[in-house]
Amino acid sequence: MFGGKKKNPSIDTLVGCNSRVDGNIRFSGGFHVDGYVKGKVKAAADSLSIVSISERGVIEGTVSAPEIVLNGTIIGDVVAGNRIVLGPNARVNGNVYYNLIEMSIGAEVNGKLIHRPGTTTPLLAYQKKASDAS
């Protein structure tokens, strides 16, 4: 939709389909979820990280990353510093903060879509505000 070649990011961290993680996750690089995560998922600050959630994947908690590719379920707020791609099976029960958004037919957001243009500065400010409130 946005043109240009799409790179296949390398996956550095994987939560498999038969795995369940209870607790917060901080990562850099590529993070892929096929299983269940209960806790906050946050990319390293000032990183070029990407999180992808398959149609079997579920995250219950806030997700913050520069790039997010969702075809599963997130129960919580989503903060995409650069771009979020919502596939046809994507389900979000929470607010979506984004700079660029690509949404397929069938994707569902039960919350607000909040455009945050520009650099990742608003993302970092939101993450600090969200962590201070916790």
Residues forming a β-bridge with 103:
86
The more confident residue out of 128 and 84 is: 84
Cβ count near 108 (within 10 Å): 13
Asked if pLDDT for residue 133 goes beyond 70, the answer is no
Residues 54-112 have pLDDT tens digits of 999 999 999 999 999 999 999 999 999 999 999 999 999 999 999 999 999 999 999 99
Grouping H, G, I as helix, E, B as strand and the rest as coil, residue 84 is strand
Residue 118 pLDDT greater than 90, yes or no: no
| Residue 58 or residue 133, greater confidence | 58
Report the distance separating Cα 31 and Cα 116, nearest Å.
23
Average pLDDT value for residue range 99-126: 81
In sequence order, the β-bridge partners of residue 54 are none
Lowest mean pLDDT among 91-95, 101-105, 114-118, 121-125: 121-125
CB 41 within 8 A of CB 51: yes
Write down the pLDDT at residue 37.
Answer: 98
Instruction: Give Cβ neighbours of residue 131 (< 8 Å, ≥ 6 apart).
Output: none
Higher pLDDT, 31 or 7: 31
Sorted by sequence, the CB contacts under 8 Å of residue 14 that are 6+ apart come out as: 31, 32, 33, 34
List the domain boundaries for the chain. Answer: 13-133
Q: From residue 57, how far is each of 12, 35, 133 by CA, in Å?
A: 17, 5, 27
Rounded mean pLDDT, 44-54: 88
Predicted confidence band at 2 (pLDDT cuts at 50, 70, 90)?
very low
Going along the chain, which residue ranges are E strands?
Answer: 13-15, 20-22, 25-27, 30-33, 36-38, 41-43, 50-53, 58-60, 63-70, 73-75, 78-86, 91-93, 96-98, 100-103, 108-109, 113-115
